[in-house]
Amino acid sequence: MDRLDPLLETAGPLLRRVDQVLSAGGAPADHEVWRHLRRVRLLPWEAVQAVAALRPGDLADAAAELRAGARSCARVAASLPPPAEWTGDAADAYDAARRRAAAHLSGGPDNLDGRLEATAALAEAMFDWMTAARDGLAAVLAEVLTSAEALSLSADADVDAGLPSAGDLAAAADVAARVLETIATSYAAAQEVATVSADLAVALDA
């Protein structure tokens, strides 16, 4: 377990309060939170839950297993015996089939072992991205939980009459901006991983 999961229980009430305030009264018109909301398209608590759902541990062993499969393909390709003293049309046909099988299994980026290696690299990239996204979010949550804005919003959490005050709107916008900026940065990094994934999918279909 990383730092994020233990923080969620503590951060949940604050972020739900931020969502409530922003939904009820919006944010100051010129606040930077609008830019981050346009990028992420989720309110802070929803966005945090989306990142929290990432489970890099599920990919922890994937790259090693895929690379083991690539090595097995290479070994099988190398072990296919040539005709040796066997000659004639049947021997030639067998040798051609053997070479095709070996070439399919190993020898280049478009062969089976090359594709397994590429998939392993993608699994590593996904693991690294998920880990970084969760770590980055945990760091910003730890900061906002001890911020003056968090204390202000917590103090007014039981106020249910009328629209939020201007102070609460500003505080909620500040907290939301910090959280959403971190998540937006992670989204941008995910685009690079998605590009690699798309390129691999095209290669596998070729």
Query: What phi, psi does 91 have (nearest 5°)?
Result: -65, -40
Q: Name the pTM for this structure.
A: 0.81
Mean pLDDT of 96-117: 88
- Which sign, positive or negative, has the C-alpha torsion 21, 23, 24, 29? positive
Question: Chain-centre distance of CA 17, in angstroms?
Answer: 27
Q: How far apart are CA 27 and CA 21, in angstroms?
A: 9
For 48-85, how does the pLDDT look when each residue is reduced to its tens digit (9 = 90+)?
999 999 999 989 899 999 999 999 999 999 999 999 88
Phi-psi region of 28 (alpha: psi -120 to 50; beta: other; left: phi over 0): beta
For 131-159, how does the pLDDT look when each residue is reduced to its tens digit (9 = 90+)?
999 999 999 999 999 999 999 998 766 55
For the chain, give percent helix, strand, coil, nearest 5. Answer: 80, 0, 20
Q: How far apart are CA 198 and CA 110, in angstroms?
A: 15
Q: How far apart are CA 72 and CA 68, in angstroms?
A: 6
Name every residue whose Cβ is closer than 8 Å to that of residue 177 and which is 6 or more positions away in sequence.
31, 32, 33, 36
Q: State the CB neighbour count (10 A cutoff) for residue 74.
A: 19
pLDDT of residue 201: 59
**What is the amino acid identity at position 120?**
A
Task: Select from 113, 29, 32, 38 the least CA-distant residue to 77.
Answer: 113
Residue 183 scores a pLDDT above 70: yes
Instruction: Sketch the domain layout of the chain as residue ranges.
Output: 4-60+113-205
